[in-house]
A and B are shown apart, each in its own frame.
Chain A
């Protein structure tokens, strides 16, 4: 027998970080939600406008709340399942502090508008590098622990942890390929359609391998623990695991249905998404059936209650996801609040509730005591559940109502709601109600924090938990393949890598390399220097969080926005800015729809002037800030490096071109009598230059 101890302290710290950042992340989300009802809530400062704090919310809840809880859950169960202390205390703490540092960096840079604009990958390149390093530390620590284990076979939870580590590493690296311009600015290496494909391959699989697989592992450990009975079917868990990781990696293109992505890739995403129902539901059933015959306990025990709702929410969102990948459903749901509802069933229900269940189970264990109040935990459960329902239902209604309004035609064949704002007006009350749902959910978290604090107070924290187990003898495992595999962590890791790479390579590489996938359009030209500055401002302000730039080939969209978007129009878009949500109208053809510089000048200052009732924020700071003309040459140079064909030496002439274009636009605005003496260098002029350019190239074709 060998004596050793389990490290509980690192688990405690990750749990604490999860609760604290969870709070912050959710409060930011709540603020963003209410801003869609009261735009003035951003206090007219740049740092708190919707376009900047929405990414702050998503990053905080995904990487800080869920991420920290995931590390806690993994580190606690990993040690026990392997009968070994974590590989290295030093690495554990490097992992912890490194991750918190990244979160703090995100919390500072995102409100400052330092962003790549790619969803859930908004952080700029130095932070991307830090993430990579911390992820490697996590990997070494985990694999190291596995290698020094005292248990020959790896329980299913651990495979999920390994798959998580391998895949997130690959996704993060590929999607973060970017060309630095300065320390706080970079451009994606990929452009347009390719960038979109890489981004949603990443985005979708971040959901799969950051929000799903680690939590399935956590489910496979903590649910049997809490119910005190083994998982329903071990064999099902094996099938579940391999099919899930094989199929998931293919489904990304379902985020890009009806866009300019080549058709074969769209169909591929849809087919694999439908197939995903099988392994997902396999996992859900395995979880729920573990509780068969123990339902009386579920009624009693808050831990199990949370877990049952979590697994049920998992089942719901993994059924809904494939349905949303059906083209005709997607045509209605995409770009609407339906998607917001969908992700919150997953986030609040599956991730949130599983984390709460796990916390209610871990605190008494690690502090050697009983839960302070079961009644409070039950109240949390009911308030939280109500919160999810009151959040999600209005968003489903809002999504469907708005989408149908977008698509409605009058008898004469014109759009029934030609004014986009009418469709926004009709769903505004829903925004208010979902804010109430979110508030309830946060109150629940607050109750939990108090309960856990009291629990910890009543016990004594066991930082190092003594344990003993016989050392692992070096002997060769023989027998059926999977049994051997369970004892060979490195081979297991390699196989997982192969499984996900097959999908990744076969899906991404063809779009990169085959020209026919992106037919070129001769009249599409690189952006002018002023437009590039404007585009950077668009990215900084996060306009893409409310505006799409992708006219889909539907009659209702071509009637509203003009000719549908073609793949060839985006070849110089580093990064792509198609967006995923239309809180405001599509801007893909803004240059054709609305070419008046004066209108934009007026609208950006006070959107309700031009559009009474608009919930778009005002952007008055753009009128006083100047663009940095020192940067122009660097921007051109970086763009050339990623493949945009500016001729050699153009950077020397760029500023002159820029000033000439700014002069034209300012003069155009000054034609209307209200305006005079407009600052040619102001940021708003650059932004207007970009808006006027959007979607116009195609009409220059002979």
Chain B
């Protein structure tokens, strides 16, 4: 069966290392993007849950 072709893969430990590298690269790229992110955009995204002017204007506080 097909699975026997894979039986000779050695150093399975390399898999996680590769994945860690992928993650690390992605993570660094993410940080760079974030660093360059437009402040106005961030503010807009942040306030998204709050600016629902179409919602009921009822207080749920006593």
Q: Is A238 a contact of B30 with CB atoms below 8 Å? A: yes
Chain B residues within 8 Å of chain A by Cβ, number: 40
**Of the residues B6, B48, B60, contact of A514 by C-beta under 8 Å:** B6
Taking the closest CB of chain B, its distance from the CB of A244, in whole angstroms, is 12
Docked Cα-Cα span, A269 to B37, in Å, equals 34
Residues of chain B within 8 A (CB-CB) of A361 are: 60
Q: Is B30 a contact of A482 with CB atoms below 8 Å? A: yes
Taking the closest CB of chain B, its distance from the CB of A11, in whole angstroms, is 14
Q: A155-B49, A502-B19, A510-B15 are in contact. Are A239 and B31 (CB under 8 A)?
A: yes
Q: Is B16 a contact of A250 with CB atoms below 8 Å? A: yes
Taking the closest CB of chain B, its distance from the CB of A502, in whole angstroms, is 5
Say whether A503 faces chain B, with CB atoms less than 8 Å apart.
yes
Q: Is A230 a contact of B50 with CB atoms below 8 Å? A: yes
Say whether A153 faces chain B, with CB atoms less than 8 Å apart.
yes
Chain A stretch 326-377: residues in CB contact (< 8 A) with chain B: 361, 364-365, 368-371, 374
Residues of chain A within 8 A (CB-CB) of B54 are: 83, 466-469
Q: Is B26 a contact of A242 with CB atoms below 8 Å? A: yes
Docked Cα-Cα span, A157 to B34, in Å, equals 18
Residues of chain A within 8 A (CB-CB) of B47 are: 230
Say whether A428 faces chain B, with CB atoms less than 8 Å apart.
no
Say whether A183 faces chain B, with CB atoms less than 8 Å apart.
no
Say whether A39 faces chain B, with CB atoms less than 8 Å apart.
no
Q: Is B48 a contact of A155 with CB atoms below 8 Å? A: yes
Q: Is B59 a contact of A370 with CB atoms below 8 Å? A: yes
Q: A234-B46, A502-B22 are in contact. Are A462 and B9 (CB under 8 A)?
A: no
Say whether A479 faces chain B, with CB atoms less than 8 Å apart.
yes
Say whether A557 faces chain B, with CB atoms less than 8 Å apart.
no
Residues of chain A within 8 A (CB-CB) of B7 are: 513-515
Chain B stretch 25-62: residues in CB contact (< 8 A) with chain A: 26-27, 29-31, 33-34, 36-38, 41-42, 44-50, 52, 54-56, 58-62
Say whether A80 faces chain B, with CB atoms less than 8 Å apart.
yes
Docked Cα-Cα span, A466 to B26, in Å, equals 42
Binary contact track A80-99/B, C-beta < 8 Å → 1, others 0 = 11010000000000000000
Q: Is A247 a contact of B23 with CB atoms below 8 Å? A: yes
Nearest residue, chain A, Cβ from B56: A368
Chain A stretch 262-305: residues in CB contact (< 8 A) with chain B: 264, 268, 271, 300-301, 303
Docked Cα-Cα span, A239 to B26, in Å, equals 11
Q: Is B58 a contact of A465 with CB atoms below 8 Å? A: no
Say whether A32 faces chain B, with CB atoms less than 8 Å apart.
no
**Of the residues A247, A364, A465, A503, contact of B60 by C-beta under 8 Å:** A364
Say whether A512 faces chain B, with CB atoms less than 8 Å apart.
yes
Q: Is A480 a contact of B30 with CB atoms below 8 Å? A: no
**Of the residues B41, B48, B56, contact of A465 by C-beta under 8 Å:** B56
Say whether A641 faces chain B, with CB atoms less than 8 Å apart.
no
**Of the residues A157, A247, A482, contact of B49 by C-beta under 8 Å:** A157
* One of A220-228, A386-394, A567-575 contacting the partner: A220-228
Q: A225-B50, A483-B38, A502-B22 are in contact. Are A239 and B30 (CB under 8 A)?
A: yes
Say whether A669 faces chain B, with CB atoms less than 8 Å apart.
no
Docked Cα-Cα span, A364 to B61, in Å, equals 9
Residues of chain A within 8 A (CB-CB) of B36 are: 480
Nearest residue, chain B, Cβ from A516: B7
Docked Cα-Cα span, A365 to B57, in Å, equals 9
Residues of chain A within 8 A (CB-CB) of B18 are: 506
Say whether A476 faces chain B, with CB atoms less than 8 Å apart.
no
Taking the closest CB of chain B, its distance from the CB of A283, in whole angstroms, is 16
Taking the closest CB of chain A, its distance from the CB of B50, in whole angstroms, is 6
Residues of chain B within 8 A (CB-CB) of A509 are: 6
Say whether A563 faces chain B, with CB atoms less than 8 Å apart.
no
Taking the closest CB of chain A, its distance from the CB of B29, in whole angstroms, is 8
Taking the closest CB of chain B, its distance from the CB of A478, in whole angstroms, is 12
List B residues at the A interface (Cβ < 8 Å): 3, 6-7, 9, 12-13, 15-16, 18-19, 22-23, 26-27, 29-31, 33-34, 36-38, 41-42, 44-50, 52, 54-56, 58-62
Known: A230-B47, A370-B59. 14 other contacts (CB 8 A): A228-B50, A235-B42, A239-B30, A239-B34, A242-B26, A271-B16, A369-B58, A370-B60, A371-B62, A465-B56, A510-B9, A510-B15, A514-B6, A514-B9
| Selected A-B contacts with CB under 8 Å, 7 pairs | A81-B49, A225-B49, A242-B27, A243-B23, A246-B27, A502-B22, A513-B6
In order of increasing CB-CB distance, the 8 nearest A-B pairs are A364-B60, A513-B6, A506-B15, A467-B54, A230-B46, A510-B12, A155-B48, A234-B46
